[in-house]
Structure 1
């Protein structure tokens, strides 16, 4: 059998020596010596390959690549010269082998056998609830509802995480008056891609938004950074977050159009929103209760319902004028078949004061009717829970 191999180099000298030895064998076809992530992924997706061999560990080789290789039936093998590379390779599910062509051929033909079989570091067994907050174009107040929902849930359970997952540019940190530089979703995605994101990193690096507020993971500091959050890494972020937190509230972008790149199958800039909506236990869909806001919402729900079943959907009417609740409810029921679970009244002065103070309404004005309306949403998505766990020790800003 002719073994088809591609190599990558964390150790350039070692890779060159191994590539030379492999090329001299009659039973090995050395197809490519890939120099970067893009070249390797292109090879995995377009060529019949039996084995990927990493000599040393390049910084760009991550779980997305090894998972894709495994899904395609490609053995991932590694030659390591130090303990750190050995540990990281095992975390990525790479089988460690000797730097000898014969050993590589033997392992590639019988992957997963022997003392150094691939190891996948498990995510915690606990499973929290993932709550996505979405709204159509036109400033429906989606981020405000996400912030208030997370604040309400944090009062029930201190293990509540608020993620700014808007790839078009988020404002959660600014709304909560956070001025210090905190790790963002880009930080989390990079760690998740290497299987290095865990409870310890959350506890050490993240901060609470206020004394009794949710733990905060800010969004992209610049909207053009969205390509750096891969689809695989984002799924790992969500998996890890829900394994460590009781509630994860994700404020996602408005646009959920499907992928247009048939080659990669990637959803591009909308991948974070689409993936979060597909995985969420509940989706809170927010609309602004005026003619334009309702029109935008109803037109956008066709694409939303391609990702979310009606059973998981909770509709929230925002900025509802006094005495218009019944009219809004009937309009949504007629067109969508369900009624809103909450009607958040239009209180711009209260929201303005909250933003100026860098706090949520839940904290700055807990008795106001707007906070009470969001409390109804929190009740719909989660039963009351007692604070517990290491996350209660996270410091406030």
Structure 2
């Protein structure tokens, strides 16, 4: 079996070694540019992309695309600089013998061709087996229309942290990020964009990822917050592949990773391009895929429920197997009639899909407005509110503790 190899980097010695060995590896092209090498691989003329220059390492998004189509990616570098090992990329020393090189590459190519080694699935597990699945990824999603998704996601993370869990909150909304505003953070640097750049550089170092986030003190607890992009025009800086890898790394070091994502999941940007196009909604789709639990926030009125039903239909058509749990928000008699919970359940049982309803959040607009105005979560601004009680229940926390006294908070970049 011959294995075609594209070499990325001006390393004539490696090419000569492969050609002189006269084994199964065959060099079909040598590229000095990343774009040229990726384009050559996407035309399916190669089984392997061998990266021989540390300055020519492709972005993680392109690596995932190559692996997804069955092209093995191999790093064979003299110096790794800040490139940490990745489980789905074969990394070999530059002084490896040709027999070992051929054996390792052959095994990698064969593993990619087996149906049970789907790369997209492997990408979700980036740590050692001993540390996998240590934490949990929870994603908050909704239909368009501002149903209060970010408010619930933020306070869910805060309550989990107050209960003693190590929590990371990532604002992955590429359309209208708002977590930083709700916490009173004037952050123009966009932590999620920094996180993506770190992963795209080849690093999955938890120290660097932590440093990109803001450390926020809430009551007696602290949470790490990856703030979203301050302007929607900056959405290309948040790349789905890189953020998915970062989220998985966070899960392996924290008890809980909370994601706030945009409502849109349509992947139709590629219709306007002849080649692969950037996908603005790919972040939402990837975060939904990698989440261990998905909550869908539904505004409980005659507009919010039909929107939610259409969004779920769209989700089921494109993402088979996802089972979001339903949270009705802004529940009140004025929007749903008398006995609103019973009416919502009846309406959902009649028209809604077979998804569990796990929460009914009361319509407490005054408390929510005060929270945003103060830049503080409910734990600090309204510890006795019914909305906070319901969110605590959603997070699996008993509401028997006394409310904490409000304290001033300090925000800092983690070292």
Name the residue aligned to 1:207: 214
Q: Is the Cα contact below 8 Å between 1:188 and 1:197 reproduced in 2?
A: no
Matched, 1:360 2:377: yes
Aligned mate of 2:345, from 317, 323, 329: 329
Q: Is the Cα contact below 8 Å between 1:314 and 1:341 reproduced in 2?
A: yes
Q: Is the Cα contact below 8 Å between 1:50 and 1:108 reproduced in 2?
A: no
Distance in 1 (CA, whole Å) between partners of 2:398 and 2:54 is 46
Residues 13-40 of structure 1: CA distance to partner in whole angstroms, max 9, x if unpaired?
A: xx1755996999897654242413x332
Distance in 1 (CA, whole Å) between partners of 2:18 and 2:165 is 58
Distance in 1 (CA, whole Å) between partners of 2:126 and 2:263 is 34
Name the residue aligned to 1:78: 76
Matched, 1:61 2:47: no
Deviation at 1:269, TM superposition (A): 1.4
Q: Is the Cα contact below 8 Å between 2:188 and 2:229 reproduced in 1?
A: no
- Secondary structure at the counterpart of residue 341 of structure 1: strand
Distance in 2 (CA, whole Å) between partners of 1:75 and 1:290 is 50
Task: Within 5 Å, give how 1:278-357 maps onto structure 2.
Answer: 278-306=289-317, 307=319, 309=321, 312-322=323-333, 323=338, 324-336=340-352, 337-338=354-355, 340-357=357-374
Deviation at 1:5, TM superposition (A): 4.0
Change (3 A) 1:50 1:288: closer
Distance in 1 (CA, whole Å) between partners of 2:249 and 2:327 is 28
Distance in 2 (CA, whole Å) between partners of 1:285 and 1:301 is 9
Change (3 A) 1:45 1:340: same
Distance in 1 (CA, whole Å) between partners of 2:21 and 2:290 is 47
Distance in 2 (CA, whole Å) between partners of 1:292 and 1:283 is 22
Deviation at 1:334, TM superposition (A): 1.6
Deviation at 1:163, TM superposition (A): 0.8
Q: Is the Cα contact below 8 Å between 2:214 and 2:225 reproduced in 1?
A: yes
Name the residue aligned to 2:232: 223
- Secondary structure at the counterpart of residue 290 of structure 1: coil
Aligned mate of 2:152, from 145, 154, 157: 145
Q: Is the Cα contact below 8 Å between 1:78 and 1:97 reproduced in 2?
A: yes
Structure 2 regions of 5+ residues with no counterpart? 107-124, 400-408
More divergent stretch after superposition (249-258 vs 217-226): 217-226
Change (3 A) 1:59 1:178: farther
Matched, 1:170 2:177: yes
Name the residue aligned to 1:8: 8
Distance in 2 (CA, whole Å) between partners of 1:75 and 1:273 is 26
Across the two proteins, how many residue pairs are aligned to each other? 367
What RMSD, in angstroms, separates the aligned Cα atoms of the two structures? 3.7
Name the residue aligned to 1:154: 161
Name the residue aligned to 1:116: none
Name the residue aligned to 1:39: 36
Aligned mate of 2:193, from 178, 186, 190: 186
Name the residue aligned to 2:257: 248
Q: Is the Cα contact below 8 Å between 2:251 and 2:257 reproduced in 1?
A: yes
- Secondary structure at the counterpart of residue 303 of structure 1: helix
Name the residue aligned to 1:117: none
Change (3 A) 1:153 1:267: farther
Q: Is the Cα contact below 8 Å between 1:90 and 1:96 reproduced in 2?
A: no
Structure 1 regions of 5+ residues with no counterpart? 10-14, 114-119, 385-393
- Secondary structure at the counterpart of residue 83 of structure 2: helix
Distance in 2 (CA, whole Å) between partners of 1:51 and 1:340 is 47
Name the residue aligned to 2:104: 111
Distance in 2 (CA, whole Å) between partners of 1:185 and 1:293 is 29
- Secondary structure at the counterpart of residue 268 of structure 1: coil
Distance in 2 (CA, whole Å) between partners of 1:325 and 1:334 is 14
Aligned mate of 1:370, from 367, 377, 387: 387
